[in-house]
Amino acid sequence: MWKRRNIYSKRSILEIVLDELVLSERVIKGKNPDPSMLIIDSKSIKNTDTAEEKGYDGGKKVSGLKLHLGVDTLGLPHAKNFTTANVSDRDGAIEMLSACAPNLKNVAKVLCDGSYTGQNFADAVEVLINAEVEVVKRNELHKFAVIPKRWIVERTNAWLEKYRRLWKNCERKISTSLQMTVLAFVAILLNRY
């Protein structure tokens, strides 16, 4: 019941609670409730043998699922989606942005890493949420350095690592994996109060 999506809003109860917590956290921090920048990244997660849906990410050599995440400058989630690991970062991000487009009306810029390069991706983002894509590549810095703003989404992924249930995907369905991630974000935000 807690993970079933409402036919009117296409969101589960947990997703509605998370959206309200994110909104209130942004207001408390003095930010506009709707973000103007979205920082996106993906993370491959290994599956256990119980998972029904899985793919193979050849780049990271992981059999499992891929979490696509879009966060604001505070690291709060505004877009999230799970796909099988064989889905490319660009295709998964387009699917995520398409599903979350109504919540991203004020986003003017999408910041991402080199795996999101390409005019087709930039055009798709422009069509979906009317935002400009800025790709920040590590090799353009010519030395090791923390990439400005990009570390925020990495920090958010680190927050999720504290939840043992998310280290590996033990769920049979992708929808349950998504709801476990939403539940972890709800716990993270509730612990701030």
Domains of the chain: 34-185 (3.30.420.10)
Residue reference for tokens 């256990």: 48
In this prediction, the residues of the chain whose per-residue pLDDT falls under 50 are 1
| Alpha helix positions (H), the chain | 13-28, 89-100, 119-129, 151-161, 174-190
CA–CA gap between residue 38 and residue 72 (Å, rounded): 5
Q: Name, in order, each residue with C-beta under 8 angstroms of 153's C-beta and a sequence gap of 6 or more.
A: 39, 40, 41, 69, 71, 75
CA–CA gap between residue 39 and residue 113 (Å, rounded): 9
- 3-state DSSP helix/strand/coil % of the chain, to nearest 5: 40, 20, 35
- Model pLDDT, residue 185: 94
DSSP 8-state secondary structure symbol assigned to residue 145: -
- Model pLDDT, residue 162: 87
Pairing of strands 55-57, 62-71: antiparallel
- Model pLDDT, residue 1: 45
What is the pTM for the complete model shown?
Answer: 0.87
